[in-house]
Amino acid sequence: MSANATTIEIPASLYTRLQSLASKQKTDPAHVVEQLVNASSEIADAIVRDPALRGGRPIIAGTGTTVRTVVGLYKLGLAAEEIAGELPLTLAQVYAALAYYHAHTQEIEADIQADSEERVMREFGQSQ
């Protein structure tokens, strides 16, 4: 074990899944965990927040495209490849937005709901 290694306890069922993945990749479970951590940090770098852009909503780095925009298209039934074709995004950026959504579902859903037509109508009433 290296000087920087950290030991954590995980449920046996999770370890079994890690062993299965490691076996498929012909590596050890620690390497699989390292890959997952690296992928997680790449996703974190791909999605940013800036209070000056899009009201501070999470956006895809280097673009003005919000995660919720990608999610909206996904919920309409578009595949990731189709979303990448519709928006000026790479497939990796689309997947990063979808991964962010799945990791922060409550936050994104609350944001979408806050701007829903139904909520606006309830709050401000119908115009005459």
127 CA to centre of own chain: 37
pLDDT in tens, 6-60: 676 777 877 787 788 788 888 887 777 777 666 666 666 889 998 999 999 999 9
Distance (Å, rounded) from C-alpha 10 to C-alpha 113?
A: 35
Q: What is the DSSP string of 37-77?
A: HHHHHHHHHHEE--TTSGGG--EETTS--BHHHHHHHHHTT
Torsion of the alpha carbons at 58, 60, 64 and 70, rounded to the nearest 10? -80
pLDDT the model gives residue 126: 64
pLDDT of 118 > 80? The answer is: no
Task: Sort residue 20 into left (φ over 0), alpha (ψ -120 to 50) or beta.
Answer: alpha
Which has more confidence, 1 or 126?
126
pLDDT the model gives residue 40: 60
Q: Count of alpha carbons within 13 Å of 29, Cβ hemisphere only?
A: 11
pLDDT in tens, 57-101: 999 999 999 999 999 999 999 999 999 999 999 988 999 999 899
pLDDT the model gives residue 11: 75
Contacts of 6 (CB under 8 A, 6+ apart): none
